[in-house]
């Protein structure tokens, strides 16, 4: 009998005192456990703080990782036996290609980070880079993340099956913020082991949401979920389940380039929708929100302080949670 999959939540992008963070690895683990996470990747800049193999603190899983960091791009390498990186920051595309090759030969996973960040974005060719996923959502939701989301959707339309992930890129909090695991990546895995977590991330059996206690969003077709492949027939139905949808937020379901279902929540609670008459390709879903009133004022103030380049740009709808696609063949 095949082992049943379960939902597990984690943070894929974390920094400790080894490379500019304020928490030691031990304190980072303690804080992540208090946040209710099941697993984390510690990804210090060009440095592996975990060691050659993943390990458990109780039932909490810590997986090795490194953020390969240079002025022209950042990428995460995840998994045991990560390549030993030079602390000298890379400058050439070929250096990133070589690290990705070494990572794959060791069974590790590679993910390009915050590719459209105006300060620390990816300056090389992106479409054909040998990555296993792309960090569409980095840290608190902003315009650069929306740009990444739009780029990723175009790749799906072009036939790519590149999964998205989210990571907090946590270094520290400011004032009243609590940015650890903001966002949180949920994976649908057979167990809380490195092997099964990486398998789920590689195959897109996952969604990204605002925090460990926030809205949950799952697309399913029978036993299949996001990242899985479903043989399309006339009676194929895909169901969306959203837990803790907040009043005023908008649910969207895409079938390829078309929004086939949209709903604005009239009250906070759970929401379910079923879609059919589908076309081959993919189905994915997201929840969006808009800043209004005092939150709009706070956003504008924060942008002027932290991201002044965005302060004169139109304010888009932001994502609260995003699924990977369910593929229809």
**How many Å is the Cα radius of gyration of the chain?**
19
- The C-alpha atoms of residue 12 and residue 30 are separated, in whole angstroms, by 16
Predicted confidence at residue 113, as pLDDT, reads 98
- The C-alpha atoms of residue 231 and residue 206 are separated, in whole angstroms, by 20
**CATH class of the domain at 1-213:** alpha beta
Predicted confidence at residue 217, as pLDDT, reads 98
Instruction: Compute CA distances 57 → 16, 30, 50, 61, 302, whole Å.
Output: 17, 9, 12, 7, 36
CATH of 215-329, one of 2.60.40, 2.60.220, 3.30.470, 3.30.1890: 2.60.40
Is the confidence at residue 329, as pLDDT, over 60?
A: yes
Question: What stretch of H or E contains 259?
Answer: strand 258-264
- The C-alpha atoms of residue 160 and residue 181 are separated, in whole angstroms, by 27
Q: List the one residue out of 275, 210, 276 whose CA is nearest residue 243.
A: 210
Q: Give tens-digit pLDDT for 159-205.
A: 999 999 999 999 999 877 889 999 999 999 999 999 999 999 999 99
DSSP designation for 325: P
Are the C-beta atoms of residues 113 and 67 closer than 8 Å to each other? yes
pLDDT averaged over every residue in the chain: 96
Is the Cα dihedral 217, 258, 166, 299 positive or negative?
Answer: negative
Q: Give tens-digit pLDDT for 195-236.
A: 999 999 999 999 999 999 999 999 999 999 999 999 999 999
Q: Give tens-digit pLDDT for 91-142.
A: 999 999 999 999 999 999 999 999 999 999 999 999 999 999 999 999 999 9
Q: How confident is the model at residue 309 (pLDDT cuts 50, 70, 90)?
A: confident
- The C-alpha atoms of residue 300 and residue 312 are separated, in whole angstroms, by 10
Domain with CATH 2.60.40 in the chain: 215-329
Q: Global pTM? A: 0.96
């Amino acid at each position: 009998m095949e082992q049943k999959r379960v939902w597990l939540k984690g943070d894929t992008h974390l920094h400790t005192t080894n490379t500019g963070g304020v928490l030691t690895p031990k304190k980072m683990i303690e804080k992540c456990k208090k946040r209710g996470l099941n697993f984390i990747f510690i990804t210090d800049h060009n440095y592996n703080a975990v060691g050659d193999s993943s390990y458990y603190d109780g039932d909490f899983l810590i997986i090795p990782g490194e953020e390969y960091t240079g002025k022209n791009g950042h990428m995460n390498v995840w998994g045991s036996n990560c390549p030993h990186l030079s602390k000298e920051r890379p400058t050439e595309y070929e250096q990133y290609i070589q690290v990705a090759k070494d990572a794959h030969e060791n069974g590790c996973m590679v993910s390009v980070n915050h590719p459209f960040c105006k300060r620390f974005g990816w300056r090389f060719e992106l479409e054909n880079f040998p990555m296993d996923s792309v960090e569409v959502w980095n840290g608190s939701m902003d315009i650069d993340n929306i740009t990444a989301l739009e780029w990723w959707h175009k790749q799906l339309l072009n036939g790519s099956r590149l999964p998205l992930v989210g990571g907090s890129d946590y270094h520290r909090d400011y004032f009243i913020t609590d940015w650890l695991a903001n966002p949180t990546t949920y994976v649908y895995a057979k167990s809380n082991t490195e092997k099964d977590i990486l398998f789920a991330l590689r195959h897109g059996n996952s969604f990204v949401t605002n925090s460990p206690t926030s809205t949950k969003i799952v697309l399913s077709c029978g036993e299949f979920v996001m990242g899985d492949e479903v043989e399309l027939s006339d009676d194929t139905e895909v169901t969306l389940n959203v837990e803790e949808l907040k009043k005023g937020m908008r649910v969207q379901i895409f079938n390829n380039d078309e929004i086939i279902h949209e709903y604005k929540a009239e009250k906070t609670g759970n929401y379910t929708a079923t879609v059919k008459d589908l076309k081959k390709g993919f189905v994915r879903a997201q929840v969006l929100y808009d800043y209004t009133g005092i939150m709009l004022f706070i956003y504008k103030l924060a942008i002027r302080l932290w991201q002044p380049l965005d302060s004169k740009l139109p304010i888009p709808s932001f994502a609260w949670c995003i699924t990977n696609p369910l593929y229809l063949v």
